[in-house]
Amino acid sequence: MSLQSIKYNRGSLEILDQLLLPVQSKYVAVRGVEDGWKVINKMQVRGAPAIAIVGCLSLAVEIYPEEFESKKSLRQEIEGKLNYLVSARPTAVNMKIAADELLSLANDLTKAEDVSVPDMKQRFLNATEAMLQKDIADNRAIGANGAQAILKLVAKSLGAAGASGNGSVRVLTHCNTGSLATAGYGTALGVIRNLHELGKLEHVYCTETRPYNQGARLTAYELVHEKFPATLVLDSMVAALLRAKNVAAVVVGADRVAANGDTANKIGTYQIAVVAKHHGVPFYVAAPLTSIDLQIPSGDHIIIEERPDREMTHVGEHRIAAPGINCWNPAFDVTPASLITGIITERGVFEPQELKEAITKLLEL
Ligand code: MRU
């Protein structure tokens, strides 16, 4: 069984505290929107899809016991609280897209004359709860689409870089994109999971992902838990790894993909893409449609979250940086579309330059 980062039953929400992993496995109750905002902002729960799901479910648990005088007052509460949740972390777009969809539902229900106040609340709760199952289904499709794309590339050059005799592959991933970052299965880690299910995963390398160490703490924990053949490397070892280990593909997640395919993801992703290009290793981004922001033309429009110096200067309580030194701690970087081989979604794998048109068409259907 894969790890469960989010436990939800109507009226009750708990998240696995990712700040304590891998040393301690402890669930924390999220009793409403205030708690939801805090666990997202403090990164007790993190990963673009998980942030959106926990944010929306924190609103569901808050309104579940409440009674509303009118649909207008319910709608107002929904709008105010969703706006607040969007402010918890700025880079991942998933919470904003979910908020827009839920608000549009609330607007439609407010206008519909045959919908009562309790009906409206019920339908709103159903819509937020549906996000859990949809995310898992999307991730499974991403996993299958990505594994097929990588295997197809490798089949073309069987015996060449990254392919062993039976066509199984070595891949590299960055940050954490697995069950802990989603409702389950994972995005980039879903691709790796699918390769493993097909018996085609020879080895997975994961980076440490300084400074928050999502790779060393969380991805490594998931890989050991799943018993995948896996090795941890430091962020500074990627060039040496790609030169030495016949890696077939890099596959990473995304926090926001712009219309032209530029992709914001965990800091360090950009330099891996540069190094992959240099070594001729295909570089894939795995992202659900809920991470794709067609409203912005390019990555220049993505706000990059900057986090406290302490995440760089300390490991736990222990200071490792010279006192007095200045720090710059952007949590994400933007990989230009020109370095990306393909964007793996639940609806197919797209080259960055075809992404906007393809997704627009899919959304119209
Ligand atoms: O700061 P984090 O841990 O929330 O950053 C997470 C990442 O960058 C992930 O790679 C991304 O959200 C994809 S999660 C499926």
Domain coordinates of the chain in residue numbers? 6-133, 143-364
Check residue 313 and give its pLDDT: 98
Q: Is the CB of 266 under 6 A from ligand 1?
A: yes
Ligand 1 centroid – CA 202 distance (Å): 25
Task: Return d(Cα 283, Cα 337) in angstroms, integer.
Answer: 10
Q: Is the CB of 177 under 6 A from ligand 1?
A: yes
In the CATH scheme, what architecture does the domain 143-364 have?
A: 3-Layer(aba) Sandwich (3.40)
Check residue 364 and give its pLDDT: 86
Distance of CA 341 to the CA centre of its chain: 19
The catalytic site residues sit at 255
The neighbouring-strand residues paired with 12 are: 9
Check residue 158 and give its pLDDT: 62
Nearest 5 degrees, angle CA 10-CA 15-CA 20?
165
Q: Which CATH superfamily is domain 6-133 in?
A: translation initiation factor eif-2b, domain 1 (1.20.120.420)
For ligand 1, atom 6, the nearest C-alpha belongs to 47
Check residue 1 and give its pLDDT: 59
Q: Is the CB of 331 under 6 A from ligand 1?
A: yes
Nearest 5 degrees, angle CA 218-CA 240-CA 309?
45
Ligand 1 centroid – CA 46 distance (Å): 6
Ligand 1 centroid – CA 267 distance (Å): 10
Check residue 156 and give its pLDDT: 84
Q: Which atom of ligand 1 is nearest to the CA of 189?
A: 15
Q: Is the CB of 175 under 6 A from ligand 1?
A: yes
- Below-70 pLDDT ranges, the chain: 1-2, 158-165
Distance of CA 320 to the CA centre of its chain: 29
What is the pTM assigned to this prediction? 0.96
Q: Is the CB of 215 under 6 A from ligand 1?
A: no
Ligand 1 centroid – CA 265 distance (Å): 6
Nearest 5 degrees, angle CA 231-CA 232-CA 235?
140
Check residue 162 and give its pLDDT: 56
Check residue 20 and give its pLDDT: 95
Q: Is the CB of 47 under 6 A from ligand 1?
A: yes
Check residue 161 and give its pLDDT: 52
Check residue 163 and give its pLDDT: 57
SS3 222: helix
What are the CB-based long-range contacts (under 8 Å, 24+) for 154-161? Answer: 154/248, 154/249, 161/246, 161/247, 161/248, 161/280, 161/281
Mutate to test the pocket of ligand 1, among 39, 177, 191, 267 (most ligand atoms within 8 A of CB): 177
Q: Cis omega before residue 22 (within 30°)?
A: yes
102, with CB counted inside 10 A (0-12, 13-18, 19+), is buried
Percent of the chain at pLDDT exceeding 90? 94
Mutate to test the pocket of ligand 1, among 192, 209, 265 (most ligand atoms within 8 A of CB): 265
Q: Is the CB of 209 under 6 A from ligand 1?
A: no
